[in-house]
Structure 1
Amino acid sequence: MASELQPRRRLSATDVALMIVGIVIGAGIFRVPADVAAAVSADWQALALWALGGLAALTGALTYAELATRHPSVGGEFHFLRLAWGPRLAALFVWARISVMQTGAIATVAFVAGDYAAGLWPGGPHPALWAGASVAAVTIANMISLEAGRRGQQLFVAVEVGALAAVLLAALWLAGTGTPAPQPPAGSTPAGTGLGLAMVFIMLAYGGWNEAAYLSAETRDSSRGLVRALVLGLGGVTLLYVLINAAFLATLGRETLAATPAPATLLLETAFGPLAAAAVATAVVIASLSTMNATVITGARAMCAAGRHVPLLAPLGSWDQARSVPRPALLLQGLIALALTAYGATARDGFIAMVAFGAPVFWLFLALTAAALFRLRRTHPNAPGFRVPLYPIIPLIFLAVCLAMLWSSLDYARFMLTSSEAGRHAGVLGIALLALGVPLVWRAR
């Protein structure tokens, strides 16, 4: 029987670290390297951007570690924003998260899963159907119990890390045999999008580290355990991303990489033959399911916590104590993600459309959350927990990163709007949905 929100501390630091890895190492690493290579003029610049993205995410991880351990709550960012800026801004965040941010992120990776699943079964169901099926399957699994979602996450992470290790082994094999780099298709090298937009995609590939804040109320030894999970999990991801991109650049070459939207497929096919395409397609599907699984887990918990403070969302505040899951929140989140998947299916590239749809709203609220740390330091000076080192330098760097990404994502939405492709209004739609949530602000308590 559902009851009030009373989550138990059942997750270890290892569980949380695996969830971070599962969210961050996802579809982005299979798509973004080509965009980065197209934006730079030298290999070292591409690697530097990936390392810079990891450092930027680390400043955010440290900032969130303080927020999550000094002000622990299953509500995560909603809780931080409510403490710092009041219930009305927090209510607007809830609306943004439900209608744009979390559900948009789920739909984004669903398109990747759908595209690659369709490639595994030529002539089978349309990619959009695979995308919708993946959203439904992950949501239902998590409605069964937290344990089902947690065990699935451990399996997903193990398989996807193994697949990325295979990419590194393929690169070493090609380097050892002296196989020449494949030549780029004539006239197919993209013109490049500029460093600002390249960083938007890089930060998308690193996205998800902040989601551990939503698990702070369910993490055993929440202060030290959560900090350790954030730093070690994200540090490992950064190292892996730099190594993967170094492998792509060393074996494919920057021009070929820039012209290849699926570089892992080309790399493994060059090293091991035609079966590589199927292997990479399977790896990308698994990575996408891993990302969706962890994102569904954390997003529904944020909705559940918000149901206690936003009257219109009160039904979402119930918690199934027997299964340790917020079932109403999981159901609503899944339905909205399916609707966004249907919208994205009308665009030429649903993945790109969902990036334009969600990025401006995401970086706006991330900047407000970063600023909340400074306010909470003044209003709650004696709260116990982790304190970010080198204060205020590290949180200021993180705030500057958020503002830069907000500007770049708005510019990307503007660029999409000037195109003639279907789905070009995705960025404007995301901002419009945020504005529609303003009436919720006046009813929040």
Structure 2
Amino acid sequence: MKSRGSKDITKDPSNTAFTNGTDGGNKIELKRRITLFNGVAIIVGSIVGSGIFVSPKGVLNGAGTVGLSLIIWAACGLLSLIGALCYAELGTTITSSGGDYAYIMEAFGPFLAFLQLWVNLIIIRPSAQAIVALTFAFYALQPVFATCEPPDLAVKLLAAVCICILTFVNIYSVRAATRIQDIFTTAKILALIIIIITGLVMIGKGEIEHFENAFEDPVNELSVGSVSISLYSGLFAYAGWNFLNFVTEEMKDPFKNLPRAIYISVPLVTLVYVMANVAYFSLVSPREMMESNAVAVTFGDKVFGVMAWIIPVFVALSTFGGVNGMLFTSGRLFYVGAREGHLPDFFAMIQRKRFTPMPAILFTGVISLLYLISNDIYALINYMSFVQWLSVGMSILGMMILRHTRPNIPRPIKLNPLIPWTFLAACVFLLIVPLYAAPRDTGIGVAIICSGIPVYIIGVMWKKKPKSITNFVTKLTILGQKMCDVVPQEIEKPTAL
């Protein structure tokens, strides 16, 4: 992390690393290569992971009935759309990449922004990437191990291969990474369309038994707490609607394409999710869904016969694209954090020929691989749900504060105040419920946030570090520059503030 007593490797002419920042006349910066279609693919590809194939069980478990579960799927989509509209205003007002981190930085200052970055750095991003990679590996191997579950070692090895391949692709080329996202997003939407069409055909043949008396015969006792849990399960499946805001600096014409991508993506996913659940219920009874670990696989077994293996393959394709989207955005988050002085300077550098944030992407890939060693990483997601909604809520609150403290900032999009306040009320609800329903998990999440306080004091606030430390860090940074052929970004960080 930056220190007043250390050399500024971006400006020191005596630095033996690359400092002129030019390569054939091209500025060393993140290039604007993300089109509207790429943006839609990033949002849709980040949202549609394993959730829609697996989590309908969790929604039904809390909702109790078929009818209420479908309403909750639609409500979660509507809430996600409202949140995404708020992020359209944020992303066109604060044009820096980094998403929540950048917005909290502008509204609340570096301390709270660092804590948000810290939990993403050590828990949220690498553990989520590892879990989705494990899900990919499990379903990719399932057709091979048709009569039993795949061996744990084989799953972990394939997950590691998945992370390594996608880390390399993201380092090698922005265009290659977005192309992978485009292809796999298209594949997963086609997979869901196949499920939807199959379900509609079944309904057309008279398979409507599970829709008759859709609000009767609940599988569980209905309560406010159970509906809250159902909402959490549904919102988990919609997670990722704000991921495009992490790469704003690389979008072509972000003032138009960012909001357009949001307007297209979230309603599209909502429609697909609701219709996919309608398709599931055409053949899978509520009781069968409650007993299934992957409702899409159960649906496939009922309708596709010898071709049932196609559903696990679709899930694998879906999660592979999900890992790619998370690696792509995680690298940008850590890159922006380093550029702000909250992470070592090395992570704020760009590969001279590829124009990718190579050190930041490499770091998130390596940490994700380390998480594969653990057998308890799934528990970490429970601890972080509270933290993620706290981060989103603070971003929206910061947007409203900035409207009052800096009213003259250019705002290409300015929503009616009722929209962000409605979303904030939902965030407060989603933050209060875990305090009652899962106080232990919430407490652990808060403790993980607080663990970043001493790191901030030592790494960021402590400016006058001993020269021996600063010289050692500088030498490591220069060595890293030479090995990776990376240099600092030439232009100043963009911001509308």
Q: TM-score normalised by the shorter chain: which range applies?
A: 0.7 to 0.9
Unaligned runs of 5+ in 1: 183-188, 418-425
The whole-number CA distance in structure 2 between the counterparts of 1:131 and 1:354 is: 18
> Which structure has the bigger radius of gyration?
2
Moved more, 122-131 or 103-112: 122-131
> Percent of counterpart pairs with the same letter?
27
- 1:5 deviates by 7.2
Relative to the length of structure 2, the TM-score reads 0.79
- Whether 2:385 is the aligned partner of 1:362: answer no
2:422 aligns with: 397
What corresponds to 1:141 in structure 2? 169
CA 135–401 in structure 1, closer or farther in 2 if over 3 Å, else same: farther
Does the CA-based 8 Å contact 2:62-2:228 persist in structure 1?
A: no
Q: Which residue of 1 aligns with 2:214?
A: none
Unaligned runs of 5+ in 2: 1-17, 22-26, 211-218, 462-497
Q: Secondary structure at the match of 1:319?
A: strand
Distance 1:103 1:406 in 2: 23
2:452 to 431, 437, 444: 437
After superposition, residues 137-176 of structure 1 pair within 5 angstroms as: 137-176=165-204
- Call closer, same or farther: CA 1:311–1:39 in 2, change over 3 Å: closer
SS of 1:29's partner is: helix
Q: 1:81·1:372 contact (CA, 8 Å) conserved in 2?
A: yes
Residue of structure 2 in register with 1:421 after alignment: none
Residues 68-91 of structure 1: per-residue CA shift (max 9 Å, x gap): 101101222222111100111111
Q: 1:408, 1:131 → 2: CA distance?
A: 34
Task: State the AA in 2 paired with 1:224.
Answer: K
Q: Which residue of 2 aligns with 1:15?
A: 38
The code of the aligned residue for 2:78 comes to L
Pairing 1:375-386 to 2, within 5 Å after superposition: 375-386=401-412
Offset from partner CA, 1:13-56 (integer Å, 9 cap, x none): 11111110100111111111011112223322111101110111
CA positional deviation for 1:314: 2.0
Q: Secondary structure at the match of 1:209?
A: coil
**How far does the alpha carbon of each residue in 1:59-109 deviate from its partner, in whole angstroms, 9 at most, with x for none?**
111111111101101222222111100111111111111112222321231
> Which residue identity does 1:266 align to in structure 2?
T
Q: Report the CA distance between 1:334 and its aligned residue.
A: 1.2
Counterpart amino acid of 1:163? A
Name the CA shift for 1:178/1:41 in 2 (closer, same or farther; >3 Å).
Answer: same
Deviations 1:319-345 (A, max 9, x none): 2242121111111111222222322xx
Inter-partner Cα distance in structure 1 for 2:260 and 2:299: 34
Q: Which residue of 2 aligns with 1:239?
A: 271
Within 5 Å, give how 1:295-374 maps onto structure 2.
Answer: 295-343=326-374, 346-347=375-376, 351=378, 353-374=379-400
- Partner amino acid for 2:455? L
Contact kept? 1:108, 1:355, Cα under 8 Å: no
| 1:195 CA drift (Å) | 1.3
1:413 deviates by: 4.7
Cα distance in 1 for partners of 2:336, 2:419 equals: 28
| Alignment partner, residue 125 of structure 2 | 102
Query: How far apart are 1:264 and its partner, in Å?
Result: 1.1
1:121 CA displacement: 2.5
- Normalized per residue, the structure richer in helix is 1
Matches within 5 A, 1:76-95: 76-95=99-118
Tell me the SS of whatever aligns to 1:121: coil
The change in CA–CA distance for 1:428 and 1:274 in structure 2 (over 3 A counts) is farther
Shift of 1:367: 1.4
RMSD of equivalent CA atoms: 2.4
Instruction: For 2:365 and 2:236, locate their aligned partners in 1 and report how far apart those are by CA, in whole Å.
Output: 21
Distance 2:290 2:30 in 1: 46
Counterpart amino acid of residue 436 in structure 1:
S
Which residue of the other structure, out of 42, 45, 48, is the alignment partner of 2:68?
45
Report the alpha carbon displacement of residue 375 of structure 1 after superposing the two structures with TM: 1.4
- Whole-Å Cα distance in 1 between the matches of residues 414 and 287 of structure 2? 41
Per the TM alignment, residue 138 of structure 1 is displaced from its structure 2 partner at its CA by 1.6
